[in-house]
Chain A
Amino acid sequence: MTSKYDAIVIGAGIVGASCAAELHRAGLRVLAVDAFKVGCGTTGGSMGHVLVMDDSEAQLNMTSMSRNIWNNLAESHSAEIEYNPCGTIWIAADDEEMEAVHSKADNYGKHGIAVQVLDQEGLYSLEPNLRPGLLGGLRIIDDCVIYPPYSSRLFLEPIELRENCRAVQVLDHQVILEDGTKLQGEYIVNACGAAAPDLTPELPIQPRKGHLVITDRYPDFCRHQLVELGYLKSALKMEKESVAFNIQPRLSGQFLVGSSREFAGWDDGINHSILQRMLARACSYMPKLRELLAIRSWTGFRPASPDKMPFIGRWPKVKGLYIAAGHEGLGITNSTGTARLLADEILGRTPSIDPDPFRAARILE
Chain B
Amino acid sequence: MTKVVVVGAGPAGIAAVWRAAQSQAQVTLIDPHPRPGGQIWLHADEAAAPKEAKPWLDKLDRLPVTRHFGSTVIDILPSVVRMQSESGGLEYVEFDKLILAPGAQELFLPFPGWTLPYIMGAGGALALLRGGMPVKGLRIAVAGSGPLLFAVAGKLAQAGARIIAISEQTSRRRLLGFGVGTLMHNPGKILEGIRHARHYLPSPFYTNTWIKEARGDSRVREVTLTNGKRLHRLKCDLVACGFGLVSSGALAVLAGCDQQSGSTVVDRFQQTSVKNIFCAGEITGIGGVDLSVIEGEIAGLAAAGNESEASRCFPKLEKQRKFARWLNKSFALKAQLKDMPDEDTIICRCEDITYGQLKNLADQCSAKLYTRCGMGPCQGRICSNALKFLLGWDLNTVRPPVFPAKIGDLISTP
A residues neighboring B (CB under 8 Å): 37-40, 44, 149-150, 153, 163, 213-217, 252, 257, 270, 272, 275-276, 279-280, 282-283, 289-298
Contacts and interface: CB of A to CB of B under 8 A. Distances in A.
Given A279-B410, A297-B399, 10 more contacts: A276-B411, A289-B407, A293-B377, A293-B404, A293-B406, A294-B405, A295-B376, A295-B379, A296-B375, A296-B399
A295 B362 contact: no
15 contacts: A37-B365, A38-B369, A40-B369, A213-B407, A213-B410, A216-B404, A217-B377, A252-B372, A257-B407, A276-B410, A279-B410, A283-B411, A294-B406, A296-B379, A297-B401
A214 B399 CA distance: 11
A149 B399 CA distance: 19
Interface string B229-260: 00000000000000000000000000000000
Contact of B408 (A40, A216, A290): A290
Given A40-B369, A149-B369, A294 B376 contact: no
Closest 5 CB pairs of A and B: A290-B408, A149-B369, A293-B404, A280-B411, A295-B404
A221 to B, nearest CB: 12
Contacts of A150: 370
Interface in B383-414: 399-401, 404-408, 410-411, 413
Contacts of A297: 399-401
Interface residues of B, number: 23
Given A37-B362, A283-B407, A294 B369 contact: no
B365 A40 contact: yes
A153 B401 contact: no
Q: Interface of chain A, helix or strand or loop or mixed?
A: mixed
Contacts of B1: none
A328 B196 CA distance: 64
B366 interface: yes
Given A37-B362, A296-B375, A297-B400, A291 B406 contact: yes
A335 B413 CA distance: 39
Nearest to B369: A149
Interface string B247-285: 000000000000000000000000000000000000000
A216 B377 CA distance: 6
Contact of A292 (B366, B370, B376, B407): B407
Contacts of A270: 399-400
B47 interface: no
B72 to A, nearest CB: 13
B335 interface: no
A39 B367 CA distance: 12
A290 B405 CA distance: 10
Contact of A283 (B369, B376, B408): B408
A298 B413 contact: no
A311 to B, nearest CB: 26
A244 B351 CA distance: 29
Contacts of B376: 295
Contacts of B413: 276
Given A39-B369, A40-B369, A279 B377 contact: no
A155 to B, nearest CB: 13
A233 B51 CA distance: 65
Contacts of B408: 283, 289-291
A282 B406 CA distance: 13
A252 B369 CA distance: 15
Most buried by B among A214, A279, A295, A297: A295
B369 A272 contact: no
B94 to A, nearest CB: 15
Nearest to A279: B411
Contact of B377 (A282, A295, A298): A295
Nearest to B366: A37
Interface string B327-362: 000000000000000000000000100000000001
Contact of A294 (B362, B370, B404): B404
Most buried by A among B77, B375, B379, B407: B407
Nearest to A163: B362
Contacts of A291: 406-408
A149 B407 CA distance: 26
Nearest to B256: A269
Given A270-B400, A295-B377, A153 B370 contact: yes
B292 to A, nearest CB: 29
A275 B365 contact: no
Nearest to B77: A272
A264 B410 CA distance: 22
Given A297-B401, A298-B399, A44 B411 contact: no
A273 B408 CA distance: 14
B406 A292 contact: yes
Contacts of A280: 411
Contacts of A296: 375, 379, 399, 401
Contacts of B400: 270, 297
A37 B400 CA distance: 24
A163 B372 CA distance: 20
B84 to A, nearest CB: 11
Nearest to A82: B372
A191 B405 CA distance: 37
A101 B227 CA distance: 70
B19 to A, nearest CB: 32
B76 to A, nearest CB: 11
A306 B147 CA distance: 63
A279 B77 CA distance: 18
Contacts of B399: 270, 296-298
Contacts of A276: 410-411, 413
A44 B410 contact: no
A153 B361 CA distance: 13
A39 B370 CA distance: 9
Contact of A44 (B77, B369, B407): B369
A290 B370 contact: no
Contact of B407 (A38, A40, A290): A290
A150 B357 CA distance: 14
Contacts of B406: 290-294
Contacts of B366: 37
Nearest to A272: B77
A214 B411 CA distance: 15
B369 A279 contact: no
Contact of B410 (A39, A153, A216, A275): A275
B255 to A, nearest CB: 12
A150 B407 CA distance: 28
